[in-house]
Amino acid sequence: MNKIILASASPRRRELLAQIGLEFEVIPSRAEENTHSRIPWEMVLELSGMKAMDIYNSLPKEKRKQALVVGADTVVSLEGKILGKPDSFQRAVDMLSLLQGKTHQVYTGVTVLYLKEGKQAPSKISFYEKTEVTMYPMSGEEIRAYVSTGEPMDKAGAYGIQGKCAAHIKEIKGDYYNVVGLPIGRLYQEIKNCEEL
């Protein structure tokens, strides 16, 4: 298998790749996260592609030949409104106040870039997963107590399903790992397929 390069600083994504036994290197993308679309699945595909291409282009030509560059991006969507990462305590409280007691969608886009033998331009695999998440009602006090832990501050939608917010998750439909930040089963299958090409 080619060397996997994760174009993300996310500790959750690192943990998920390690969990299934993949060897990889982390080179976080510094690409500007500006997207032209406000449609969730289009946004995450566009942003994951930008991150992957940013790192692919930064690699020496020899390294590109052995690399599978993986970019990923996750957003939370509620009734068509996209919720990114909160930039303040109050913004996290506001986001959770919107999500509590309702069902929302989590979209993660993934782009894999790799160079086929004899080619100049990289080949691309790009996909997204969508998971429905229903939260129990939360009181204002519960929301503020959770935000006070600091856990929501670097997470789309201001919560971590794998952390303390698990107490407030009623139901999920779809890939749990997608909500954590990387649909790892689908990614593994896609990488396996591209290695066989």
Q: Select which of 54, 73, 94, 154 is catalytic.
A: 73
* Ranges assigned E (strand) in the chain: 3-6, 24-26, 67-78, 81-83, 103-114, 123-135, 169-173
Amino acid present at 83 = L
> Is 54 annotated as catalytic?
no
Separation CA 97–CA 139 (nearest Å): 9
d(CA 114, CA 21): 20
DSSP readout, 61-92?
Answer: HHHHTTEEEEEEEEEEEETTEEE---SSHHHH
Tokens of residue 132, six digits: 């429905």
Q: What 3-state DSSP class applies to 108? A: strand
Cβ neighbour number for residue 116 with a 10 Å cutoff: 12
Q: Show which residues are catalytic.
A: 73
